[in-house]
Amino acid sequence: MSAYKKVAKVFVASRVQNLANILRTSTSDIVVEECSLSQNPENPTGISKELEKHVSEIEFLFADPDIIGQVLAHPRNKVKWAQSTFAGLDALFKAIDKLHQLPDVLISRQTGGFGQKMGEYVIGQIIARERKFDIMRDLQKQKSFDGSQLYSYRCLNSLSIGILGFGTIGQEVVRQCKAMNMNVWAAVRDERFDSGENLNHSVDNFVPMSRLNEMLTEVDYLVNVLPSTPKTRGLLSDKLHFCEKKKTIFINIGRGDIVDDNSLITAIQNGWLGGAILDVFNTEPLPSTSELWNLPNVTISPHVSGITFAVETIETFLLNLKLYQDGKRLINQVDLSHGY
Could you list the active site residues?
255, 284, 303
How crowded is residue 111: how many other Cβ atoms within 10 Å of its Cβ? 21
Q: Is 75 helix (H, G, I), strand (E, B) or coil?
A: coil
CB neighbour class for 200 (10 Å; exposed up to 12, middle 13-18, buried from 19): middle
CA–CA distance, 65 with 92 (Å, rounded to integer): 5
Q: Cα 55 from chain centroid?
A: 28
Axis crossing angle, helix 114-130 with helix 133-141, rounded to the nearest 10: 60
Q: Give the E-state strand segments of the chain in sequence order.
A: 9-13, 31-34, 60-63, 81-84, 106-108, 160-164, 183-188, 205-208, 221-224, 249-252, 275-278, 298-300
In contact, 84 and 65? CB cutoff 8 Å: yes
> Which residues, other chains included, contact 335 with Cβ-Cβ below 8 Å and sequence gap of 6+?
none
CB neighbour class for 98 (10 Å; exposed up to 12, middle 13-18, buried from 19): exposed
CA–CA distance, 203 with 175 (Å, rounded to integer): 8
CA–CA distance, 257 with 281 (Å, rounded to integer): 7
